[in-house]
Chain A
Amino acid sequence: MLCPFGTSRSRRYIPWLSIAIPALGWLVFGLYPSIATVFYSFTEYSGLPGTALNICGLCNYHRAFTILLPQLGASVLISVIFTGGVTIIQTAVALGLALLLRRRGWQFGLFRALIFLPAVLSVVVIASTFKLIFDPVTGPAQQIVHSLTGSGSAFLGSYTTALPIVMGITIWLGTGYAMVIFIAGLRRVPDECYEAARLDGAGRWRLFRYITWPLIAPATTVVVFLCAMAQLGEYALILVLTGGNFNTNTIGVYMFNTAFGGTNSVGELGYGSMLAVIQFLLTLIIGGGLLYVLRRREVAL
C-alpha cells in the first residue's frame, strides 16, 4: 500500500519522525525525571518552585544511614514482606484460578471477567470501598469477626491486622491480571503432552508437576516478575487505606509522603528523591535477582 504522505524524498524521514516523537516523550517524561530525581537526591530542595535548591552533596544519604536508619530499615523490611507475601500468594491463587477457569465457554468467561474486574477499577475507589468494609464501627467485616470470635478489631488501625489486610486487597486487585497471563500460558501447552502422560498412567498431580508446571515456566516468570516490580513501587492503595501507618509504611509510601509532604506543602523533595533512588536500587536488586533465578529455572525445566 502506498504511503499517502509526502514525496519520495520526504518519506525517508517518516520512520525517523515516528521514532522521534515517542523518543522525545521518553526523554521528557522518562529520562529527564529519572536524572532529575538522582540530582535532587543531592539537595535539600523543598520541591516548591522558585525556592533554593540547597545542594548538599551526600547529606540525604548520610542522614538516611545514620539518624534515619531505623525508619529506612523498617520501611525496606515492610516493603520486602509486602512484596514477597503478595507475589507468592497472588501467583499461587492466580495459577489455581487459571487451572480452574482455563476452559472455553461462557460460564468460564463470566467468572474470568468477574475475577479480572478489580484490575480495571480505580485504586482510590477500591481503597475507599474497603475502608468502609473494614470500618470498625459500621463495617460488615466487624460484624462478621464479632459473630465469629466475640471480639472486634481496629482492622486498618491495628498493628496486627493492617498489613495483612492491605496485602489481601492488593492480591485481590492483581489476581485477575496474573490469571489471564497464566491462562495464556496454559493454552500454549500442547494437548499431546497430556495425552502421552495420561497413557503412561500419570494422575492429576503428576500431570501438573511434570507437564504443566515446567511448560508454563515462561508465564510464571512474567507473573512473578511483574507482580514483584508492581508491589515494590506500590503506594497509592496503601496511602488511601492507612496513610502508611500501622506497619504499612513501604518505601514507596515513605518516599511519597516525604517528597510531597502533608499540609502547608511541607515536602522534602531532596530526601524523598534519595528514597526514590534507594527504591530504584532495591527494585534493581530484587528484579535482577528474580529474573536471573527465573530464567535459569526456565532453562532447567
Chain B
Amino acid sequence: MINNSANSRRNDAGDTSATGGSFDRRRLLGWAGASALAAGSLSACSGGGGKSKGRGNGTGSGKTLQIAMWTQSTANDPVARINSKFEAKHPGVKVNLNIKPNTQNAYSTMLKTMSQAKSIDIMAEFSPGVGIAPPPSYTHIKPSGVNALIQSGQLTDLSKQPFMKRYDRKQQELAWGANGGIYGLMIAEFGCFPGAFYKINLLDKNGMTPPSTYSELIDQLNKLKGNGLTPIFCAQYNSFLWTGFQSQLMMMGHPSTDSGEVSRQLATKFWKGQMNWDDPTFVKAATRMSEVEAFFQPGSAGADPLSSIGTWAVREDDWPYFIDGTWDIEVIQKANPNLKVGYVGLPGTDDPSANRMAQSLNQGWVVPTWAPNHDLALEWLDFFSQPENYIDYATSIASLSCQPEVKSSTASWAKWTNEHVKDMFPSIPGPWVPPGSPPLAAGPDYTKMAPIGKLSPSDMMKQCAADYTKARSA
C-alpha cells in the first residue's frame, strides 16, 4: 500500500517533469477552478447583484423597488396595475411584489428574512393595536412585532409626508400613531365585526330582513332552523363574533369617535387590576357568541376557509348567512354570479343604536428607515395614494375608503355598510398582554368554548381572567 502510494507520487512527479504542457494545463485548471470558486463566493456574499444600498434618490433609475404583501386574491391585481403605472412613470425602475400567504406564518417569515437581508422597501403590516400601541413604559412590556420595529427606530415616521393629507389623520393616528409620529399608512379598513354576507332571495323567501337587535337575530335564526335551514355558514372559527360583540357592548353609550379612548381605558383598567376577562360585559359577549355559534353548520370548526367561500356561494337554497369579511365579495360573485348577496352587521345588543359595526383597521404600508430605496418607496406611497390609484385598490378589495375624498364601493352588496359607515368605529383590541403570557390572557380560545369545545362561556372567561392575572404579575 505504502509502496503503491510512493509509486503513485513518483509517477505524478515523473509526469510533471516529463510533460511540461500537461503541468501548465493542470496549474491553469487549478487556478481557473480556484478563481471560479472565489468569484462564486464573492458574488454570493455581495447579495442582491449590485443592488443600490442606502437611501437612493427619488428618480430611482435602474432600481428595483421591493414590496412585500400577504396574499389577497383581490389586492394582487390592483397593486400590480399601480406598479405597472409607476414603472411607466419611472423609466429604469422595476417594482417587485413579493407575496406570501398569512397562513402558517409564511408571510411573517418572509418579512423577517427580507428584513434580515435589509432588502425590502415597503412592507404590508396590520396596525399594531388601535389606540393602545405601544404599551406605556410603566407596564415594562417588551415591545414585540411591529411595536418592536417602531421602538427600535426602524420604521419611517410618515406623519409629515405630503400624501398623508389625503387620508383621515385621526384614523391614521389610531392605527399607526406612536411616540408622536405615524409609522404606517393605513390603506384598508373593513366594517366586519361582526359582519356577515346574506342571501337576499333566501331571506325574502322566508319573509325576513336582516335583524336590528340581538333578540331579533336569535328569533330569526330559530325560525330559519324551524324552516329546515342551517342558518349560518362559517369556516373554522374566527374572531368576527367575539370582536364584534365585545366591541359593541364596550362602546354602548359612547359616540363612535370615542373608540380610541375606550380602548385605552380598557387596557389601563386591565393592567391596573380594575377589570378582567370575567367582567360581566365580556361574559355576555362570550355567551352571545356561543349562542350564535350553535346555529353554524355541523362541523364548521373543521371547514377549510379557502374553499368555504365558494361552497357557500353556489348553494342558493341553504345557509342564509355567511360570517366573513367584505374582502371576499369578489370570490363570492365569481363563484355564483347570479347570487343576490348583501352584507350586514350582526346585532350584539338589544339597543339598535348600539349595534354599530366595529371596523378592522386592516392593511397598512410601512417603510423601514434602512430601506435600500427609501425615497423611491415614499414616492411609490405618494403614487399609490393618488385618488385614481387608491380608488382602484380600495374598490377591488371592497375596503371602506381611508381617504375622505374617495368614495367606497357603491355596489349593491355594500348598501348596508354605506348607510351605516358613519356609525362605525375601530374595534376594541383588548388589553396589553406581555409576550410569553399564558394563551388565554389575550382572550377566549374559541375552539375550547362551547359549542366547539367543552367549556361554558363563563368558565372560559374565568380561565382567561386567571391567565391574565398570571401574565400581569409574572
- A residues touching B (Cβ–Cβ < 8 Å)? 2-8, 10-11, 44, 46-52, 54, 60, 63, 66-68, 70-71, 131-132, 134-138, 142, 152-159, 162, 239-240, 243, 245-246, 256-257, 260-268, 270-271
Contacts and interface: CB of A to CB of B under 8 A. Distances in A.
B93 interface: no
Contacts of A268: 144, 435-436
B29 interface: yes
A11 B199 CA distance: 78
B105 A137 contact: no
B203 interface: no
Contacts of A138: 307, 311
A245 B16 contact: no
Contacts of A155: 299, 302
Interface centre among A4, A5, A60, A257 (most CB of B within 10 A): A5
B125 A157 contact: no
A278 B237 CA distance: 30
Contacts of B125: 264-265
Contact of B116 (A49, A132, A154): A49
B174 interface: no
B303 to A, nearest CB: 6
A156 B235 CA distance: 12
Interface stretch (B56-64, B147-155, B400-408): B147-155
B113 to A, nearest CB: 9
B148 A46 contact: yes
Contact of B30 (A6, A51, A257): A6
Nearest to A52: B152
Interface string B128-159: 10000000000000111110110110100000
A52 B141 CA distance: 13
B211 interface: no
A270 B470 CA distance: 19
Given A51-B149, A52-B152, A246-B447, A8 B33 contact: no
Interface stretch (B7-15, B253-261, B410-418): B7-15
Contact of B144 (A154, A243, A266): A266
A52 B151 CA distance: 9
A47 B112 contact: yes
Contacts of B9: 8
Given A10-B30, A67-B471, A157-B236, A265 B303 contact: no
B298 interface: yes
A35 B198 CA distance: 54
13 contacts: A2-B12, A5-B26, A7-B23, A46-B144, A49-B112, A60-B436, A67-B471, A67-B474, A154-B299, A154-B302, A154-B452, A158-B299, A263-B126
A8 B27 CA distance: 10
A301 to B, nearest CB: 37
B145 A46 contact: yes
B interface SS class: helix
B301 interface: yes
Contacts of A137: 297, 299, 303, 308, 311
B98 interface: no
A46 B108 contact: no
A49 B297 CA distance: 44
B453 interface: yes
Contacts of B227: none
A158 to B, nearest CB: 6
Contacts of A52: 142, 148, 152
Contacts of B15: 2
A256 B103 CA distance: 13
A270 B144 CA distance: 11
Interface residues of B, number: 61
B104 interface: yes
A70 B303 CA distance: 28
Given A2-B12, A48-B148, A266-B144, A257 B105 contact: yes
B111 interface: yes
Contact of B453 (A46, A48, A159): A159
Given A8-B13, A47-B112, A135 B302 contact: yes
A264 B146 contact: yes
Contacts of A63: 436, 474
Given A49-B115, A263-B126, A153 B299 contact: yes
B304 A132 contact: yes
B275 to A, nearest CB: 20
B303 A48 contact: no
B311 A263 contact: no
Contacts of B154: 50-51
Contacts of A156: 302
Contacts of B115: 48-50
Closest 7 CB pairs of A and B: A136-B299, A157-B302, A157-B301, A266-B145, A6-B30, A154-B299, A154-B302
B307 A7 contact: no
B436 A68 contact: yes
Contacts of A134: 302
Contacts of B265: none
Given A7-B26, A8-B13, A266-B145, 13 more contacts: A2-B12, A5-B29, A6-B26, A10-B27, A46-B143, A48-B152, A50-B115, A152-B299, A155-B302, A156-B302, A256-B105, A260-B112, A265-B108
A260 B237 CA distance: 21
A136 B303 contact: yes
Contacts of A240: 103-104
Contacts of A47: 112
A185 B308 CA distance: 47
A5 B142 contact: no
B280 interface: no
Contacts of A154: 298-302, 452
B5 to A, nearest CB: 12
A245 B447 contact: yes
Interface in B259-312: 297-304, 307-308, 311
B102 interface: yes
A5 B33 contact: yes
A3 B437 CA distance: 61
Given A44-B436, A52-B152, A256-B105, A4 B29 contact: yes
A169 B370 CA distance: 45
B168 to A, nearest CB: 22
Nearest to B113: A49
Interface centre among B33, B148, B149 (most CB of A within 10 A): B148
B436 A131 contact: no
Contacts of B23: 7
Given A137-B299, A157-B301, A262 B105 contact: yes
B37 to A, nearest CB: 9
